[in-house]
Structures are given as structure tokens and as C-alpha cells.
A and B are shown apart, each in its own frame.
Chain A
Amino acid sequence: MQKSLHIDPVKCTGCLQCEMACSFENYGVFNISKSRIKVFNFEHEGRMVPYTCTQCFDAWCLNACPVEAIKIDAATGAKVVHEATCVGCKVCTIACPFGTVNYVAETGKVQKCDLCGGDPACATACPTGAITYVDADWTGLDKMRSWAGRTDTQARVSA
């Protein structure tokens, strides 16, 4: 089964545990400035929203890369940056409509979410279930269940 990261902003409290988990997984340090997932705080609305790469099926970044440094991980479907090939030209950062692939000055390469090889650290770290890793074909399942529960059919009383 293909899985995908699923974000439910209503549940996000802005604790940034996901950002710390991401940086620790990928760089071995607790450093939110190296995180590939970012929580945005819309202070005046009281909304916090985690945001990261959604792994487009037909990925702009992958199509734009002139050296084919971004490849598909067959197991997870993630679009993965191969650092050894990446030349740091940043064309992918221009091509991506969502801003989720970014340049890292320290390494001279770009970075983006690679789904941690199929066990995303951000989802594991999230204390509220705002970030989950679920069946890619059924990211709407929880919402459907919630609305299904609101239909006014009476529960049947068994004898």
C-alpha cells in the first residue's frame, strides 16, 4: 500500500516537535532551521498549519532538474534528492509551486521531504495526530468517518 503524509491543521498546537524530529532524523541535531516540514502560525487567526512536500505524482521539481538528481523512491513514492548528483542550481526551487524544496547553503544542495524511507519522523513525533502517515488513497477517511457519524440515521437497538 502506498502511504502519504496527511496533515490536519485543526489539531496542530504549534509545538514544533515535528521540526525537531525532522532535523534530528536527517542531520542528527535538534535544529528547526534544518527541518523539511515547517509549522506556520497565523497568529491573528489562531491557526497553526504544518506544511511540507506532498510528493506530487507528476513532480515539478523532478521534471525541472537538469541533472536528474531527484528520483522516485519505488517503495514509498517519495521524490528524493540525491545529494551526490545535485549541483545546487536551484531550478527545482523555482519549479515547485509550493515552496517545499529549498536550498541549503551549508551543503550547496537542495533538500526536501523524503518520507524518511517510509517511517516519517514528524508523524511519529506529533503529539496530537495533526501529522499522520496513512493510506495514500484514503487520506480523507477520518473526515469521512466524522461526517458519516453526523448523519441522522438512528442507531438500531438490538433486542
Chain B
Amino acid sequence: MGWTRKILRVDLTKGTCQSEPLNMELAQQYLGQRGLATKYFVDEVDPKVDPLSAANKLIMATGPLTGTPASTGGRYSVITKGALTGAIACSNSGGYFGAELKFAGWDMVIFEGRSAKPVYLAIENDRAELRDAAHLWGKTVWQTEEIIKKSHQDPQTRVCSIGRAGENGVLYACIVNDLHRAAGRSGVGAVMGSKNLKAVAVRGTQGVAGIKDAKAFMKAATAAKKALADNAVTGQGLPTYGTQVLMNVINEMGALPTRNHRDVQFEDARKISAEAMREKRPTDGKAQLVTNAACFGCTIACGRISKIDESHFSVVNKPEYWGASGGLEYEAAWALGAANGVGDLEALQYANLVCNEDGYDPISFGATVGAAMELYDLGILTKEQIGMEAPFGSALALTKLAEMTAQGVGFGKELGLGSKRLCAKYGRPELSMTVKSQEFPAYDSRGIQGMGLAYATSNRGACHLRGYTVASEVLGIPVKTDPLVTTGKADLVKAFQDATSVFDSAGVCVFTTFAWSLADLQPQLDAACEGDWTMEKLALVGERIWNMERQFNNAAGFTAKDDDLPPRLKTEPAKTGPAKGLVSGIDKMRPEYYQVRGWDAGGVPTKETLARLGL
């Protein structure tokens, strides 16, 4: 059946945990995870709600393939109204937590209200209870996980938690599970912190039973795994180099945003690339990369496990950082590196460790540091205000600011608000490289035109994971399109956005889409889930989810004006590389996109569109 058919509803105000049946009619229309949880969310929460108020809710949701041997079938998502963005937020994470939640018998957990004091949720199969978390408050993610496992006397417990960033109101705080996997973007961790909810600990021993047609499912899952193994990206590139395989590629394309998007190529890209992570360091003769690693059920294994250089200035006399740990992934390496002009690989890994340890998004953090460094460069922010010299390229400033943000001290408090609020405060709002208050990831809209449209129209603010047209414009998946032109990008973005909505709702990882189309996912879903899951139905589900999210944002007060890029990307041409002389063609693509979507000129879905999608 795919679903466990059970929802856990946790009222943090009253301190109660209640089981309720999953609405199976909605499951047929919204599948699971992102789609289904967002449906529950929009039905229950006022779009105008203050994200950090008790009236906001937070949902942790698995998909129908979570906890099955479908490759990458271990995902869960966190759905809420984003603290950073004020838009619908949906942050997806791997690791082992999602599958464990499913094995405990829950499709999703809905948190509502706000606890008067710090608590954590302990789940053991059908039993769930809120427990005092006074002893955990103020602790890092890593400490919290260790303390809970010890006190439960169960090393097999899986934990997700917020660190000090989530407690301190860092607006891009994450929820981190299994030490270094994160529901990373839009500030879902800040919402969790505002509810005084420190962690969720889960142990599930019930497994996933009742797959609709187990034989057909195993056949489909095996065929799909073979497709991943045979594909050059998922079978070789990602396991060998991780997502960091992109650093040199995107730099060569002239699409690597550098120094707060002043430049599109980074002279030190090579030093912070996947290739550099595999090279032996002169200091200790060891490579930073230790091994690759998989999340639950994943046959790609793109994850990076690294060891920092013990003699690096950031960790001298700090043995707690010397062990193997997660990182660097491409987005983090870009944001902590190129976005600030920092070419010190070990400094990036240290900042990345601090982000994991205290639970905040390295993309938004790194990009915000980039904005601060530009303000410093312009003389708007001073050494006294920041507490140190902070020129572009300063590894020392990056690492110090990472610590200050984690601890919520000094200038770290201002960095914790994100670049939109920071730049506005200092009178230069146009220097914030954001859409809907969320910082860009690692692709420049001038060198990869489709990504500009994907960012501008992403329902959770600037993001590469809502419509990854890089696959087509750079890697030629499923077909190669020209990254420098706007023609055809409206259709391309819509197709990626709708398909991704289905993958995000199924319980699998979007990275499968380098090798899989919906046609590879469909037989797995159809064999696992009750109902008739045709290609047509899935395509409609994807588009329905996208429009539902859009409607929430429109009701929250977003308009077509918010589907835009910062002026720099529209007026300052790329200085070097293949895109030299180009600006983003977002103003040309946006109306085309609205038309392709069946929305009016104001970006509002028409009645016909809503009727067609059953909204």
C-alpha cells in the first residue's frame, strides 16, 4: 500500500499526541510527502500567519516509497511556512530518519501550537510522547543526538533536531538528522525552535508491509536501480566526485556566482573542487575526502565523508572536529567559497561542519556573508561593526562569522537574519542576491538562463531543487538546451517543476532524475501504492502540487513582482566566460511562463487551470 495510513498529530500547546487516519482520498490526489503534507498544511493554516507564531504548523512527512528498497527511498520532507521567506516551505532530507519514521508506522507528524518549555518528541512505534528537553536546550545537534541515544539506551534510535541556530532564531536554521543530513532551506529549523521543539527521536520496528504487488515492485525497483548504475552521472560522476563534480564544470561555463555575484567565474574554483578534495594535502599527506556514503536505500551514494586538516588554523586544539564527518557538497562549497571569494578548502569544510553542528543552511549563510563582504568592501559596514576585517577572500572572517552565527553573538546575530534583511538594514537592498528573501544557490542566471526563471518562480524562494534545468542546459538531460538563450525555457522550467513535485512526493531523491524520468518512477509507485498510478495521473499530480503551493503564496501576499531577480542580474552583464556580456532574460521569460502555466498576467492561476487540476 505504500502508506501506513496513520498521522501523528502533536499539539505542543496542550502537550498531547494523537493518532488519526490518513485521508486516503487526498493521498490519491497528492501522493505523499511534499504534495500530501502541503495539502494538509494549506487546508489547516492561514496563509497570512506569522511563521514564528504558535498558529504556524510544521509537518514532517514521508512518501509512499520511503522505507522501501526503491533506490533512494529514505526521504522525508518538512513542510511549514518558511521563517526566512514567508512562503510555503518544503525542505527535503535523506539520511536514515525518514525511513525510521515510516518503520514506526507514521506517514507524517503534524506539529501545532507552541510548547511553554523546551520539549522533544519520542516515538517508539505506536507510542509517542513529549518529553522535557531542558537538558538539551543550548546543545548542538551533535550533542543532542548523542545525549538522546544514551538516555534511551538505544543506539538504533534515529534523531532529527535543531542546534543553537534554531533556538536563537537564525532565520535559515535547518533541521538536521543523522549528524549531517538536513532539511536545509527556508528556515524550517527556526520554526521548530519557535515552537520550543528541540528534537524528534524515533525507533520503528514495524517495517513497511502490504506493498500492493511485491513481485512487480521488486522487478520495477531492480530495473530502476540498473538505470541508475548504467547512467554516467548517477553511476560514476556522483559516487566518485559527489555533487562537487560540478565546481569546475560550472566555473568553465561562466555560471559560478562569485563575490556576491559581481563575477561569474572564480579564480580559485579548482582549489575548492571535487578534484581538490581527492588530492593529498602537503601538510599531512592525506586527502580531505575519506569515502563516499549513501543515505537510506540509495544506490547512487553521492554523499561526501571528509576529514579536515588537523593543522588548519580553524581547528587547531579542537579535536572534536578532527573525526570524519559530512561535506563538502557542491552548494555548500560554492556558498562558503566562491560566493565570498574564499579559496581555502579546509576553511570551507570547517564552516560546513559548524553549519551541521549547530543546524543552519550553509547556502543562505555563505551567501549572506558574501553580501556582508560586499557591504564591507563598499565601506558601508566597518571593521568595528563586524568585529573584524572582512574583505572578500578572508577565510579567517568566514570561519569566525560561522562560529558567531552558530552562537548568536555579535555580528552573527545580524548574519542570522539573511542577506535580504541585512542589506535592507544598511540601505542597500539591491545587493541582496535573493528571491522571496531566500539566497541563490550555485548557478548564475546570466550563464544559465533557465535557472533564472526557475529561481524567480520557485515557490520556496531561490532554489535549485524545484526545477533543476541545469540538467538540460549543462548536462543534456533529458535533452541538451542552450544555456545562453531564453527560448523554450518557460516550457522547460514548467516540465522540471512539475516532475520534481512528483519525485519529492514519492519518498525518493531528486538526484535520481539524472537517470530517471517519470516513466522510471511510475512502475515503482504503481506496484507499491493502491490505486491506478498512470503517467497521466502523475503528471497531473505534479502540476496540481505546484499550483497549490502557488495559491498559498498568492494568498500570503506574494505577487508577480516577487517572481523577479535582483537588479544586478538584469543590468550588470557577466564579465567573463561564455556568457560574457549577457544579463538575465527573466523579464522576457516570466510572461511566457505564466502563459505556459495557465496563469493570468499577474501570476494567478486562471479558473480554467484550477478546474483542470481539481483545485
Which positions in A face B, CB cutoff 8 Å? 13-17, 20-21, 23-24, 27-34, 43-48, 125, 127-128
Contact = CB atoms under 8 A, between A and B. Distances in A.
Nearest to A10: B291
Contact of B297 (A15, A24, A29, A31): A15
Determine the interface band of chain B, counting residues with CB < 8 A from chain A: 35 or more
Contacts of B185: none
Contacts of B67: 30
A13 B94 CA distance: 14
Interface of B: 67-69, 71, 96, 99, 103, 156, 179, 204-209, 211, 214, 218, 225, 229, 239, 290-299, 301, 303, 305-307, 323-325
Contacts of B307: 46
Contacts of B239: 13
Given A28-B209, A32-B207, A127-B229, A43 B294 contact: no
Contacts, number: 87
A45 B324 contact: yes
A23 B296 contact: no
B509 to A, nearest CB: 12
Given A43-B324, A125-B69, A48 B293 contact: yes
Contacts of A44: 323-325
B451 to A, nearest CB: 30
B299 A17 contact: yes
Contacts of B103: 31-33
B291 A47 contact: yes
Given A46-B290, A46-B291, A128-B301, A33 B205 contact: yes
A42 to B, nearest CB: 8
B205 A20 contact: no
B299 A46 contact: no
- Which has the most chain B C-beta neighbours within 10 Å: A15, A16, A125? A15
- Which has the most chain B C-beta neighbours within 10 Å: A14, A16, A27, A31? A14
Contacts of A46: 290-291, 293, 305-307, 324
A5 B299 CA distance: 20
7 smallest CB-CB distances across A and B, nearest first, come from A31-B207, A46-B324, A44-B323, A46-B290, A13-B294, A15-B294, A13-B301
Contacts of A15: 294-299, 301
B207 A23 contact: yes
A29 B1 CA distance: 12
Given A17-B69, A24-B69, A29 B207 contact: yes
Given A43-B179, A43-B324, A46-B324, A20 B291 contact: no
Nearest to A40: B155
B305 A21 contact: no
A14 B207 contact: no
Nearest to A18: B69
Nearest to B206: A31
A16 B296 contact: yes
A44 B204 CA distance: 25
A75 B214 CA distance: 29
Nearest to A105: B205
B323 A29 contact: no
B329 to A, nearest CB: 15
A29 B69 contact: no
Given A16-B96, A24-B214, A46-B305, 10 more contacts: A15-B295, A20-B68, A21-B69, A28-B214, A29-B208, A29-B209, A30-B69, A33-B205, A46-B306, A48-B291
Contacts of B323: 43-45
A33 B204 CA distance: 8
- Which has the most chain B C-beta neighbours within 10 Å: A31, A45, A127? A127
Contacts of A33: 103, 156, 204-205, 207
Contacts of B204: 33
A127 B69 CA distance: 11
Given A46-B290, A47-B291, A13 B179 contact: no
Nearest to B207: A31
Contact of B208 (A17, A31, A43): A31
A74 B301 CA distance: 38
Nearest to A106: B205
16 contacts: A13-B298, A15-B297, A17-B299, A20-B68, A21-B69, A27-B207, A28-B209, A32-B99, A34-B207, A43-B179, A43-B325, A44-B324, A46-B291, A46-B306, A47-B324, A127-B229
A13 B292 contact: yes
Nearest to B299: A127
Nearest to A30: B208
Nearest to A35: B207
Nearest to B208: A30
Nearest to B125: A33
A33 B102 CA distance: 13
B297 A17 contact: yes
A14 B71 CA distance: 13
A128 B299 CA distance: 8
A107 to B, nearest CB: 13
Contacts of B205: 31, 33-34
A10 to B, nearest CB: 8
Nearest to A47: B291
A32 B96 CA distance: 11
B292 to A, nearest CB: 6
A47 B325 CA distance: 11
A31 B68 CA distance: 9
A17 B218 CA distance: 12
A127 B296 contact: no
Contacts of A28: 209, 214
A20 B71 CA distance: 11
- Which has the most chain B C-beta neighbours within 10 Å: A21, A31, A46? A46
B127 to A, nearest CB: 15
Nearest to A16: B296
Contacts of B294: 13-15
Contacts of B299: 15, 17, 127
A20 B301 CA distance: 17
A128 B325 CA distance: 21
A16 B158 CA distance: 15
A75 to B, nearest CB: 25
A14 B225 CA distance: 16
Contacts of A24: 69, 214, 218
A19 to B, nearest CB: 10
A2 to B, nearest CB: 28
Contact of A127 (B68, B218, B225, B325): B225
A137 B69 CA distance: 32
